[in-house]
Copies of this chain bind each other. A is one copy, B any other.
């Protein structure tokens, strides 16, 4: 089968098409024919060597998958051949989803939301689970909570805005001016141009802040939280100084790492099918042009998500 691999760390041009065997299934696994696979910022960090999560190349990136069950091993009861499924296999180990077929443990998959196609479903697992596990599992966001979502137009941010709204929260989002209409269209109650406004002046008393940007944004976020409020960060989770500063200021801190989770996938699919969540795909690019997708994601200017199609 066709896959996109890399033999060394480096810029996007290290990504190239290869022919490899169709993966063999272990007990509990399902073989998925990949229709689309999502591209995430973490993919670029692993590709470049900035985050050597998978050890040395060669390896095949790709943690987001939407496709059709091609084969199951005896012992799997959750799916049958022909079912449309989506999921996030094996994170933080090699996902291997930049490929025609991928092997996935059955409880790392859920049924694809019926209301969206594979391209859109492939945009959902890693970013959507990140948002879900932060807002719902860690923060327990509910009716009336005031929440600030940084980069509300980004891959995780645009899903977080919709999930927080679906939970009944009052959502403030930051975004560059060019993305304001997009973010308001997602349901955000207020959008703030972080380039034009000092957010520590403009925003006060938040119950929860979701930082998807990192760096100075984390420090600023402490000030916009109410006492006892919760800073969630998907970027600076290793930053002990930020953690200490948050706690010293009487706020709470939680770093977030996404994890495979069929319950979260099912919850996200239910929101999609209820019309409350829709992943936005800015670019759908053929798998063989994975390098181009990585250039785009590294530009930092993406609105919503990038997927690779097969």
Beta-carbon contact of A138 and B258 below 8 Å? no
Contact indicator A105/B26 (Cβ below 8 Å)? no
Task: Answer whether A77 and B107 are a contact pair too, CB < 8 Å, given A26-B53, A53-B27, A92-B28.
Answer: no
Residues of A within 8 A of B (CB): 26-28, 53, 73-78, 91-93, 105-107, 133, 137-138, 237-238, 243, 254-261, 263
Could you list 23 examples of A-B contacts with CB < 8 Å? A26-B53, A26-B93, A27-B53, A27-B92, A27-B257, A28-B257, A28-B258, A73-B257, A74-B237, A74-B238, A74-B243, A74-B255, A74-B257, A75-B257, A76-B257, A77-B133, A77-B137, A77-B138, A77-B254, A77-B255, A107-B260, A107-B261, A263-B263
Chain B contacts of A107 at CB under 8 A?
A: 259-261
What residues of B have a CB within 8 angstroms of the CB of A255 in the complex? 74-75, 77
Interface of A is mostly: loop
Contacts of A238 in B (CB 8 A): 74
Q: Which residues of B contact A256 (CB under 8 A)?
A: 75, 77
Kindly list 10 other residue pairs between chains A and B, CB separation below 8 angstroms, not including A28-B257, A107-B261. A27-B257, A28-B258, A74-B237, A74-B255, A75-B237, A75-B257, A77-B137, A77-B256, A105-B260, A107-B259
A259 touches B137 (CB 8 A): no
In the docked arrangement, what's the CA distance between A254 and B237, Å? 43
Residues of B within 8 A of A260 (CB): 105, 107
Cα distance A259–B73 in the bound complex, in angstroms: 13
A259 lies within 8 A of B105 (CB): yes
Residue of A137, A243, A259 with highest tally of chain B CB at under 10 A: A259
A134 to chain B, nearest CB (A): 8
